[in-house]
């Protein structure tokens, strides 16, 4: 047969280099990943066999077999699952750089890989972990349901290339042959393999078997011991979710979580229950302790594992969870859905909608109970997943107030870094206060020092501080228990008008001049009700986009029509008395125009933007400094 040599793509070369010179302290996970892949292959074959009579088990019942040959230094892992064609094998293992590979490489560059062995499983690059313990890997595979014995062989020593050729293979499925490195020979030991399988793969639904040599009494000669080889199952194969909760230990729950999530951390919370009535199903799912690094990537796999009568139908059934609960991991086993259910059928299936509503309610009730009775645990959860949970305010109208009650916020009245609830905000509102005020900012410090809060602080009004990019999009126009949420940077704030009418008359002509000078930059100039110490600020109209959201959308490549904003000036600031004097002395003076330009640039700087014309701004500031120095007779 012709042997083809092919080059790995650049990303996979980098990945293999990482594996060969691995910094992982948990190299044994190579076996977990290979067993998991084998289990997935059997799942696919089992599912396909429901509708395709050509897919039958030709090599006994579904199983995964491990052979360890100490003399040759080889471990072979075989399954009788779906197998692969030549093209599928090339695509999966060598030439196409899947997005998971790229994201995995990005992630390992940003953190200490020793502390993140879970990344291998999370990003779907588990097969390559074989090269942590093997210096040569051979894959023999034949697709199930295809007539004849034609299979494919893939081989690589991770030297930048791999070979591929056609072979004869008697049974469908896949064999992975690992030539173990000299320094990793411990993995050839039977007890080492047993321990790894018990630790990571005990809950795999299919038997993981190994030929084991034992001594037993001879049937011919009494008292004589003979050696026999028997196939022994190494994992329990128990569907843990179908067991009674009282029979399951915390360690068993934790290990099953690690199996379904590829996360090395223990879960934060276990939710295990059986629903009966109009729809019968069993759920076992988990709140993770740590957010996956790829949770906000487009390719993040969403959804629970769906089983129907213990037959796995889907790895990630998106229809079972709302998007804002995408951090949930686990299993749903239904007694009501048909075994041949497809993604298309799921989208319109009434039972699926019942399950989804039930799961959503159960998760939200669990979170509410944690918040009430275990605040420390809830705080850990919220710091990891609060950013995702709050998306439900926008996407789930029926649950928005329930979700709002679960949210925690920084605020101007937070004590020593503590977080506040919306109910605590309402309880502390001033009698005359008509809205829940919030401000969006890149950081806590920038928000606290913002000029937009000056009058609100002076009136002792609490302001919620929001630092996530999408906060304004979610909370703009949101109403909680009859109180509207209002941005401190948008619309007109009229908390304390003071002598505003008198100031309007005093500065009316000056304001007209400022409007005319800045007509290309602002839509209006008005006196401010929100400033106390700062001279000016820029605000958006009530219905306009928040500037931070506008920047975010533009950074994402979306076309956003920029709208002019309103320049608010503080009539009580000394600067305007001086500006008015300059105006009254000579309303056409160049100095007045320079001051107005500097005024607008100040407003830009105060919101975190750069001056309209940085060069001109520095020239004006330099000139002011020189004039001041001359007056003070410094020069």
Q: Average pLDDT over the chain, rounded to whole?
A: 84
Domain 500-538+561-631 classified CATH 1.20.120.790? yes
Give the fold, CATH level 3, of 4-231: Heat Shock Protein 90 (3.30.565)
Q: Count H helices, E strands: the chain?
A: 21, 22
> Residue 2 pLDDT more than 70?
yes
Q: Are 462 and 437 within 8 A, CB to CB? A: yes
Per-residue pLDDT of 130-150, as tens digits, reads 888 999 999 999 999 888 889
106 pLDDT tier (thresholds 50, 70, 90): low
309 compared with 404, residue with greater pLDDT: 404
Instruction: Give me the percent of the chain exceeding a pLDDT of 90.
Output: 41
**What pLDDT does residue 98 have?**
52
Among residues 485, 488, 461, the alpha carbon closest in space to that of 475 is found at: 485
The DSSP bridge pattern shows strands 329-334 and 64-69 to be unpaired
**What pLDDT does residue 295 have?**
78
> Residue 242 pLDDT more than 80?
yes
Q: What average pLDDT does this structure show over 505-511?
A: 87
Crossing angle (nearest 10°) for helices 574-585 and 590-606: 160
Pairwise CA distance, residues 259 & 32, whole Å: 8
357 pLDDT tier (thresholds 50, 70, 90): very high
**What pLDDT does residue 120 have?**
45
Count other C-beta atoms under 10 Å from residue 64's C-beta. Answer: 28
Instruction: Give me the percent of the chain exceeding a pLDDT of 70.
Output: 88
Least reliable range by pLDDT among 358-362, 453-457, 556-560: 556-560
> Residue 206 pLDDT more than 70?
yes
483 pLDDT tier (thresholds 50, 70, 90): very high
Least reliable range by pLDDT among 70-79, 453-462, 551-560, 578-587: 551-560
**What pLDDT does residue 22 have?**
57
Pairwise CA distance, residues 6 & 95, whole Å: 8
- Listed ranges 250-264, 317-331, 569-583; the one with the highest mean pLDDT: 317-331
> Residue 533 pLDDT more than 70?
yes
Q: Can you point out the beta strands (E) in 64-172?
A: 64-69, 74-79, 134-142, 150-156, 161-168
> Residue 66 pLDDT more than 90?
yes
The DSSP bridge pattern shows strands 304-308 and 329-334 to be parallel
240-384: CATH architecture: 2-Layer Sandwich (3.30)
**What pLDDT does residue 95 have?**
54
Q: Quote the Cα angle for 513-518-519, to 5°.
A: 95
552 compared with 588, residue with greater pLDDT: 588
**What pLDDT does residue 210 have?**
95
105 pLDDT tier (thresholds 50, 70, 90): low
3-class DSSP state of 57: coil
> Residue 48 pLDDT more than 70?
yes
Pairwise CA distance, residues 609 & 161, whole Å: 50
> Residue 116 pLDDT more than 60?
no
Q: What average pLDDT does this structure show over 426-439?
A: 92
**What pLDDT does residue 60 have?**
67
126 pLDDT tier (thresholds 50, 70, 90): confident
**What pLDDT does residue 386 have?**
94
User: Which residues, 6 or more positions from 34, have their beta carbon under 8 angstroms from its beta carbon?
Assistant: 77, 126, 127, 130, 176
207 compared with 6, residue with greater pLDDT: 207
Per-residue pLDDT of 308-333, as tens digits, reads 877 677 778 888 999 999 999 999 99
Domain boundaries, the chain: 4-231, 240-384, 409-487, 500-538+561-631
Least reliable range by pLDDT among 41-55, 378-392, 414-428: 41-55
72 pLDDT tier (thresholds 50, 70, 90): very high
Q: What average pLDDT does this structure show over 527-542?
A: 89
pTM: 0.67
> Residue 635 pLDDT more than 60?
no
**What pLDDT does residue 24 have?**
57
Alpha carbon dihedral 308, 314, 320, 326, in 10-degree steps, equals 140
Q: How far is CA 574 from the centre of its chain?
A: 49
CATH code reported for the domain at 409-487: 3.40.50.11260
253 pLDDT tier (thresholds 50, 70, 90): very high
Q: What average pLDDT does this structure show over 595-610?
A: 89
Pairwise CA distance, residues 197 & 178, whole Å: 17
120 compared with 37, residue with greater pLDDT: 37
185 pLDDT tier (thresholds 50, 70, 90): very high
Q: What region, left, alpha or beta, does residue 388 occupy, with left being phi > 0 and alpha being psi -120 to 50 degrees? A: alpha
114 pLDDT tier (thresholds 50, 70, 90): very low
Pairwise CA distance, residues 66 & 178, whole Å: 11
Per-residue pLDDT of 152-180, as tens digits, reads 999 999 888 899 999 999 999 999 999 99
Least reliable range by pLDDT among 518-522, 536-540, 566-570, 582-586: 582-586
């Amino acid at each position: 047969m012709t042997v083809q040599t092919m080059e790995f793509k650049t990303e996979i070369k980098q990945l293999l280099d990482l594996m060969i010179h691995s910094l992982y302290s948990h190299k044994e996970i190579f076996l977990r990943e290979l067993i998991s892949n084998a289990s997935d292959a059997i799942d696919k074959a089992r599912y396909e066999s429901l509708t395709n009579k050509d897919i039958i088990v030709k090599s006994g019942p579904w199983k995964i077999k491990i052979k360890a040959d100490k003399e040759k230094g080889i471990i072979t892992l075989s399954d009788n699952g779906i197998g692969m064609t030549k093209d599928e094998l090339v695509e999966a293992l060598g030439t196409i750089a899947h997005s998971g590979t790229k994201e995995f490489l990005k992630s390992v560059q940003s953190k200490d890989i020793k502390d993140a062995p879970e990344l291998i499983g999370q990003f779907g690059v588990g097969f390559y972990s074989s090269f942590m313990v093997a210096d040569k890997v051979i894959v023999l595979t034949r697709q199930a349901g295809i007539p004849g014995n034609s299979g494919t062989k893939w081989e690589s020593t991770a030297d930048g290339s791999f070979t591929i050729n056609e072979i004869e293979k008697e049974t469908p499925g896949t064999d992975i042959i690992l030539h173990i490195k000299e320094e990793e020979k411990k993995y050839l030991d039977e007890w080492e393999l047993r321990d790894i399988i018990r630790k990571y793969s005990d809950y795999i639904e299919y038997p993981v078997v190994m030929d084991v040599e034992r001594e037993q009494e001879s049937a011919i000669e009494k008292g004589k011991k003979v050696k026999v080889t028997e196939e022994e199952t190494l994992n329990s194969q128990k569907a843990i979710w179908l067991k009674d909760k009282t029979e399951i230990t915390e360690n068993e729950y934790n290990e099953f979580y690690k199996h379904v999530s590829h996360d090395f951390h223990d879960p934060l919370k276990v939710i295990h229950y059986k629903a009966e009535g109009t729809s019968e199903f069993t759920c076992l799912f988990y709140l993770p302790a740590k957010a996956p690094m790829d949770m906000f990537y487009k390719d993040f796999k969403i959804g629970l594992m769906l089983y129907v009568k213990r037959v796995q139908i889907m790895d990630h059934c998106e229809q079972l969870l709302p998007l804002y609960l995408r951090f949930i991991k686990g299993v749903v086993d239904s007694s009501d859905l048909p075994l041949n259910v497809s993604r298309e059928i799921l989208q319109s299936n009434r039972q699926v909608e019942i399950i989804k509503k039930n799961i959503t309610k159960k998760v939200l009730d669990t979170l509410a109970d944690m918040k009430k009775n275990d605040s420390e645990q809830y705080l850990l959860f919220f710091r990891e997943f609060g950013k995702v949970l709050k998306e439900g305010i926008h996407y789930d109208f029926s649950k928005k107030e329930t979700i709002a009650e679960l949210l925690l916020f920084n605020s101007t009245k937070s004590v020593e870094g503590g977080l506040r609830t919306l109910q605590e905000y309402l309880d502390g509102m001033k009698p005359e206060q008509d809205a829940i005020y919030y401000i969006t900012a890149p950081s806590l410090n920038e928000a606290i020092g913002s000029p937009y809060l000056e009058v609100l602080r002076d009136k002792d009004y609490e302001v919620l501080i929001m630092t996530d990019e999408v906060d304004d999009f979610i909370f703009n126009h949101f109403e909680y228990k009859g109180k509207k949420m209002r941005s401190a940077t948008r619309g007109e704030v009229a908390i304390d008008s003071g002598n505003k009418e008198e100031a309007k008359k005093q500065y009316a002509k000056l304001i007209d001049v400022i409007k005319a000078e800045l007509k290309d930059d602002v839509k209006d100039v008005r006196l401010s009700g929100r400033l106390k110490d700062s001279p000016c600020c820029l605000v958006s109209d009530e219905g306009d986009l928040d500037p931070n959201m506008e920047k975010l959308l533009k950074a994402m490549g979306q076309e956003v029509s920029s709208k002019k904003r309103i320049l608010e000036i503080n009539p009580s600031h000394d600067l305007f008395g001086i500006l008015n004097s300059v105006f009254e002395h000579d309303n056409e003076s160049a100095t007045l125009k320079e001051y107005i330009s500097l005024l607008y640039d100040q407003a830009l700087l105060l919101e975190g933007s750069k001056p309209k014309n940085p060069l001109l701004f520095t020239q004006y500031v330099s000139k002011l400094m020189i004039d001041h120095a001359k007056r003070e007779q410094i020069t």
